[in-house]
Amino acid sequence: MRQQKSDQQYVLKVSLKGNRRIWRVLVLSGDQTLDDLHETIYLAFDRYDEHLYSFYFPRAASRRDGIAFRSKEYASPITLQEPDPINDEKALNAARTRLDKLNLRIGQTFEYLFDFGDMWWHELKVVGIERRDHKSQLPMVTERHGDSPQQYPSSED
């Protein structure tokens, strides 16, 4: 079954947590997936070595949140191949989750974790939801602020 093309495009500001001076603005079509968003972030921050990733809606749980707080996790397809020994709740597949299905709204924030070892945390904010210009090739990076940090900083950094 062929996916229907979306008439929406989403404008997202992606900031590195811990250094909010480094951010990118991305535009994706509503028929693109969270896996497409991951790939766009990966390229926008000049990464070169693939790792596992997850998106958290509204944000990742922390110890201070207690048991009552549950975020929805959308994980890379590779992550889903193995059971999680820590979390018994099954993550959702980022490659099967279209942006249009997330009911995103302007001002909404969520988190993205790239590389579970080095833990590159990002905050994403929906800054625009627009009628899609079908002439534009999406996804695209429309703004870059700050130099991308090295994916593997040297011990001197």
User: Would you give the DSSP letter of residue 45?
Assistant: T
**What is the model's pLDDT at position 68?**
45
**What is the model's pLDDT at position 59?**
66
**What is the model's pLDDT at position 5?**
85
Over its C-alpha atoms, the chain yields an Rg (Å, rounded) of 16
**What is the model's pLDDT at position 156?**
57
> Which stretches of the chain drop beneath a pLDDT of 70?
1-3, 59-70, 82-89, 155-157
Superfamily name and number for 8-145:
MM3350-like (3.10.290.30)
Kindly tell me the number of DSSP H helices and DSSP E strands found in the chain. 1, 8
User: Would you give the DSSP letter of residue 78?
Assistant: T
CA 37 vs CA 44, 69, 71, 117: distances in Å: 10, 25, 19, 21
Domain boundaries, the chain: 8-145
